[in-house]
Structure 1
Amino acid sequence: MEQLSSYVRRTGEWTAPARMALAVVAVLTVIAIAAAARADVKPGDVITAANASKARDLVSPGVYYKVENGMSMKIVPTGQIDWPPPYKDATEKYSAQVRLSHDNRSLVGYVAGQPFPLIDTNDPQVATKIMWNNVFRPLLTDDYDLRFYDCESVYGGLNKPNNVIQYYQIGHYAGYDLVGRVEVEPMPVDPDFKKTNRLWLFGLYPVLSPQAERGEGFIRFRYEQPDRGDDDWSWNPGDRRIRRLNEALQSTETGAQTWNPDHYSGFNAKTEEYNYKFLGDRAMLGVAHAEHSPELKCSTDGGASACPEAWEMRNMYIVEASPRRELISQALQGKTIIYMDSEMWYQPYIDEYDQKGQLWLNHIWWTTYRDRPVPDARVAIYPFKREFEVGAVSTDVQSGFATMCYLPGLQTPERECWYINMGAVDKSFFTTDAMVKAAP
């Protein structure tokens, strides 16, 4: 495998033998994962708080906390995931020209697809390369619009009742990538990138519930320059003011929720602001073929997760992210442990630790693999399968406070929810004027 990696990176040739070798490696990986699964848990097992110890070494400490506190897991056979063909084609076309900068912080030569498709775990820069693969992952490449999703904040725990502290409903969770576009024109790079150096645009607005926050919104821009922080603005209709936000706030809890913008969709902090350490790769449990949409509110942990759901053995890269020295004083987290699925290139879960080294926040994402976000979709239907996020939870393990989000929502009018790489939003959506006008 290392020889194949060296050859492809050196020559840029994705020959038929190279593709065949990669296919063989993928099959062997699935076989290895299945063998590991037989040694610990097997398809058909149901993991609950009563037998949680069976999964202790197959999940992160944060996920184990969730199981001990009532989240159940239905173990299913490992399924295979393939990238969307346009993303795969772009990877073959452009990846050979990509490298890290001289200081190993930034990308050089990136256009589209995955920057580093052949990972060598002995590479001294493997952790950084994994994290750049995370930035340009196959899940969302051009644009996306998640319409009408909702979240519930609860104090979860084993067999606790579902007492909802706060209910949230959001109109749009949307993004537009200027670089790495593979399905919607302009491709592969929006010409605006040369003028602004913006890598992507993000908008979350309007808040529809609770009433006290109705109409609020949030916009974020990410830039290519390693030393330029994000631009962030919020809108509060109560005092009718646009506020410019401090970038450091994006890695902290927001309001009554445990979600923060740096973890809305996996590890989403600015890559260059962290140091990375590779901790290894191994077979672990994760959700990649979720069976429910909308997700099921877990009845055995007070609604603090989605369960029961299909968990399978996945091969994961484990990376430790810590703030760079100049940012340590601004960060509440001492370190973040990222569990990266090596096939779908998304994180089934992440654990965050406080400055004292104690486990603090756990984030879990439930994804499914199909050609539409919901089984009865009429618009968002694709000619190939892709991953869709169907649920997410963030939990303060020190207090038990959790915010569980459902995609699509449990109480929302929009059922298709995800519109990925369909031109559903353009750059005009990500302006303060548009955010203000959208407020009900």
Structure 2
Amino acid sequence: MKKQLKALLPMLVAGFMGSAMAATEADVEASFNPYKAGMPSFPGLTAGTVINKANADQFKDVLSMGIYKLLKDGLFEMKVGATTQFTINKPYIDATKANLNKAKLGAKTGELTGYVAGRPFPEEPDAKDPNAGDKLAWNYKYGVNWGDGASISPFYWKYRNLQTGQVEKTIKYDFHFLNFMHRVKDAPIPEITPNPSGIYRAIYVKANEPQDLKNTQLLIQRFDDDSKMDDAYLYLGFQRRVRRLAQGQVTDSFLGSDLMIEDFEGYNGRVSDMKWTYKGTRNVLLPMWNHNELKLATDMPAEADGYKFVNYSGQGNCFFDGTWQLRKAYVLEAVPVNPSHPISKRTFYMDAQLQNLNGAAESYDRKGELWKVFSVGKTHADHHLPINKGAGIGIDDAGFMVDVQSRHCTTAYFKGQVDPKKSPANLFQVQNMRGGD
């Protein structure tokens, strides 16, 4: 009997530890509403504060390192707004509750079993947990991002000289996003079928202007099985053929911009392509606002429906005129597994409520020196286009990628539309690219 108890003891302890560490509905509530007990604060920081070169040191503790450097170098001024709730849609929260504790990490990075829908790991990350970084990465992969289906149309990129502000090129795109699996809000739920290859999510891009890039198209298909390499295809209009991209090409400059394909949405790659490390929780200023309350662009024509894009100013007109909120954020480091990758690491400041990766991010070159600073500002869906009201996601609204080494930037003007009808499943097939001329 004693021998049997002795043999069972490790199993009983493991079972107890597992149940003690299991996420609860209280964890779900805290994950989606980190401000239930009140909004974060910092001495001297209030709505209306302007942070610039003169006072950046005073607020260094609530700034991402890259944004601090841009401010300290006098490249732009940051306008602080009140912290507000960016509540995620109820179906996604309900799916998180319904599938609580079903998702389990495998033995290797990139292995996940039992995931159904919602946020896989809603519990607060623990610095003592060696897998905390991986869990946050999975929360991003299966996060709402653009929801089950959406588009950015039009989507302008401007290539600028940071020193002079000269606009070297303007590209007008359409971007489309679609979740094929783990859908929670838009029919069909939970999956678009047929889907024999197990595509989880796809991105389709089409350039409309200028003429020399017209009809250039990019298709990225990411699989639910993270061990499978993404399928990526590029169609160049002047060549009139689709070619499959080699894995290394997703880390090349995309059409001469400061972004690589892997930079899209903050990080556009597999969980298994990086070693993820949770570096702690901080209150950080992140760009989040109500679009309809901002200063809007005067150098960009309004859309036919009256929609106006966010304005840019600062050095080289490289920085959006949006407000920044003090937000709870998880600092997450991603180091490429591939030693020949052009960057040595990225640091993300992940908004704890939305758990996206593009509010503030930094890329470091292979020498470990700061190379690029990336930021995408988000508008509350209820203060944007009527189609987005009630969408329950943070709408990407304006963005910049600043190359601090080459003194160059790419600015982005978004018209995001959470309208599943604009992103039908047939748009994300290779044969669709050939029919675009």
Following superposition, the deviation at residue 75 of structure 1 comes to: 1.1
Distance 1:399 1:300, change over 3 A: same
1:168 to 171, 196, 206: 171
Following superposition, the deviation at residue 66 of structure 1 comes to: 2.8
Distance 1:384 1:273, change over 3 A: closer
TM-score, normalised by the number of residues in structure 2: 0.86
Give identity over the alignment, percent: 21
Following superposition, the deviation at residue 167 of structure 1 comes to: 0.8
Following superposition, the deviation at residue 259 of structure 1 comes to: 1.3
Counterpart in the other structure of 1:343: 353
What secondary structure, in the 3-state scheme, does the structure 2 residue paired with 1:165 have? strand
2:312 to 298, 308, 317: 298
Q: Give the CA RMSD over aligned residues.
A: 2.4
Following superposition, the deviation at residue 212 of structure 1 comes to: 1.7
Does residue 322 (structure 1) correspond to residue 335 (structure 2)? The answer is yes
Following superposition, the deviation at residue 40 of structure 1 comes to: 5.0
What secondary structure, in the 3-state scheme, does the structure 2 residue paired with 1:176 have? strand
Counterpart in the other structure of 2:433: 435
Does residue 236 (structure 1) correspond to residue 258 (structure 2)? The answer is no
One-letter amino acid of the structure 2 residue matched with residue 340 of structure 1: M
The answer to whether the 8 A contact 2:33-2:87 is kept is no
Distance 1:425 1:8, change over 3 A: farther
Separation of aligned partners in 2, 1:216 and 1:373: 29
Separation of aligned partners in 2, 1:389 and 1:225: 27
Does residue 103 (structure 1) correspond to residue 108 (structure 2)? The answer is yes
Following superposition, the deviation at residue 190 of structure 1 comes to: 2.8
Distance 1:297 1:382, change over 3 A: closer
2:194 to 177, 186, 192: 192
For residues 105-163 of structure 1, what are the alpha-carbon distances to aligned partners after superposition, in whole Å with 9 as ceiling and x for unaligned? 32211111110111232322111101110111123231112111211111124xx4x32
For residues 185-232 of structure 1, what are the alpha-carbon distances to aligned partners after superposition, in whole Å with 9 as ceiling and x for unaligned? 221233434x21211111101x12222211111111112333321111
Counterpart in the other structure of 1:76: 81
The answer to whether the 8 A contact 1:9-1:96 is kept is no
For residues 288-322 of structure 1, what are the alpha-carbon distances to aligned partners after superposition, in whole Å with 9 as ceiling and x for unaligned? 22443644433331211212x21111111111111
Distance 1:13 1:78, change over 3 A: closer
Separation of aligned partners in 2, 1:333 and 1:72: 28
Distance 1:221 1:385, change over 3 A: closer
What secondary structure, in the 3-state scheme, does the structure 1 residue paired with 2:289 have? coil
The answer to whether the 8 A contact 1:141-1:421 is kept is no
Does residue 152 (structure 1) correspond to residue 158 (structure 2)? The answer is yes
The answer to whether the 8 A contact 1:280-1:318 is kept is yes
How many pairs are equivalent?
404
Counterpart in the other structure of 1:182: 184
Distance 1:383 1:322, change over 3 A: closer
Does residue 47 (structure 1) correspond to residue 51 (structure 2)? The answer is yes
Following superposition, the deviation at residue 431 of structure 1 comes to: 2.1
For residues 410-437 of structure 1, what are the alpha-carbon distances to aligned partners after superposition, in whole Å with 9 as ceiling and x for unaligned? xxxxxxxx23253422221012332233
Counterpart in the other structure of 1:226: 226
Counterpart in the other structure of 2:404: 397
Separation of aligned partners in 2, 1:319 and 1:23: 18
For residues 243-297 of structure 1, what are the alpha-carbon distances to aligned partners after superposition, in whole Å with 9 as ceiling and x for unaligned? 1111222123223201111111122221111111111111110012244364443
Gaps of 5+ in 1: 409-417
User: Whose Rg is larger?
Assistant: 2
One-letter amino acid of the structure 1 residue matched with residue 405 of structure 2: Q
Separation of aligned partners in 2, 1:429 and 1:108: 29
Counterpart in the other structure of 2:301: none
Following superposition, the deviation at residue 372 of structure 1 comes to: 5.7
1:426 to 424, 427, 432: 424
The answer to whether the 8 A contact 1:184-1:421 is kept is no
Following superposition, the deviation at residue 381 of structure 1 comes to: 4.1
